[in-house]
Structure 1
Amino acid sequence: MTDPTQHLHAVARADDGTGLAYQRQGAGYPLVLLQGQANNHHWWDPVRADFHVTHTTITLDYRGTGDSDKPQGGYATRQFAEDVIAVLDAAGIGQADVYGTSMGGRVAQWVAARHPERVRRLVLGCTSPGGPHAVERDVSVRRALATADPRAARRALIDMMYSPAWRAGHPGPYTTLGDPDMPPHARHGHLVASNEHDAWDALPRISAPTLILHGDEDRLTPSDNVPLLAARIADSATYVFPGARHAYFEECREEAGRLVAEFLGV
């Protein structure tokens, strides 16, 4: 029986001394939730409680976000993965389920490939293997997000995260649009980390059973990456949500939550 009212906020230390704020809720089997680029743990706020039926959820503020330190360097998906291990060590957790979305899915790939003994089951959402084998977003998407007008860039990002039909009934505020308090050097570091990710050669080393989820209208990370990941991870299953965009986990909350719960079990 879980107690979702249990909350723990603590700080772990990365291998380079960076302070990493992490949050723990619930009392079931540990589930690490990893959010997208330039976001803190609040990315998961709309759906986090759904997992407390069976799991304790562990989130962290990536270096450069939230209450974690914001060093000048150390921004790489491999380093973020080692930061996750530092959090698990600090929390006294030997093995956990891991669910990563967007850049968090890229981080999760490294966690599972480099530390297979620490991952029982793996969920990869709206993500890609990175590198030259990945299917990248269209140049028009990059252009829209890089516009000098911050309000236009925000509107473009919202449109890429959520379908118009869903937004009509859910006007926000949205928790997936980035940590507004990140310093410029950290925001740039996250961008470089995500852009330079390439786990293609490491993916076959993932031994944990893996569920790969995606929205079929995702323009930020095209769903063509789903079969690429599945072909490289031996024990994997896939599901693509019709009509969903990047934040499928929120827009398709009921169905996505059910699929993840069934896959993870206890």
Structure 2
Amino acid sequence: MRVVLGWLLLFLAADSAFAFSEEWSPQKVVIGQTSVYVLNFAEGEVDSPQVPALGIHTDSEAPDLPLFEVFSSDIGQNRIRLEVAYYASGTFILPITWKDSTGKENSSKVGLQVETSLLEKDKSPEDVLPPDSFSGPYGWRLIGLMAGIAALILSALYAYYLHRTRTKDPMDAILQTDPWIQKILRYENRLSELIESPPIPAREFYRLLSGYIREVVSKKLGSPTSHLTETELFARIFDSFSIDEEVIRVWESRLRKAQYSSEESRLTKDEAIAALDFWRGAFEK
């Protein structure tokens, strides 16, 4: 009798353990990419579920910054399904709770891995600019590479010549020898093109502005910033420039939301000019 009772208790425990299952699909995403969370359960095994509401949810440690957004929510008799995007990197567990058939409180245990978008090919600020790569057969690529090396050597010699002859306009030499200035000018040109063609797509403008900010910070500090997340970048800006912390938080939130939100918003020409002028002035202080 004890053996039968033991097997019965073991069966009930196993049945309770497998009364529900949860998963993310995909399990690994980049910042701003949506993933679907699904909680499957036997009918009656999940009671009083508490799930995040539709819309943007802020970070409890930084209430001014968006942490994740719920795009859709479906609660059925044997399934809960949410479509979610996170706006920060790390491993996150959705704040979902429910009671099982015995009245026991349960919460989600499955985490979603979110990688910084700067490691992905379609999220880097550099990728909003026209690519500098070349295509064609290997022989042409080799010729192009050799021509590029030759051009760099000639550019360096030309810069040296300008320095030695003390020309009145050394800008050409500077452009040839400073890659950060080249990138900064490219971003400024693209931003100017957008500003002259209103209404301006907010996502594209702020991605370009983010790239501009990164290159200026790299130039000012003498070290690259392309590997930094948005949070790390603005922490570096706060430590290195005379910009108020509250202003930093507002801009970090604005850039993150504009770049990774699904909302398609537009900027006026005046708004875009004001944004670019702000950062130009901030870096000149």
TM (normalized to structure 2)? 0.22
Q: Which has the higher contact order (CA 8 A, sep 6+)?
A: 1
Q: Which structure's CA Rg is the greater one?
A: 2
Q: Give the structure with the larger helix fraction.
A: 2
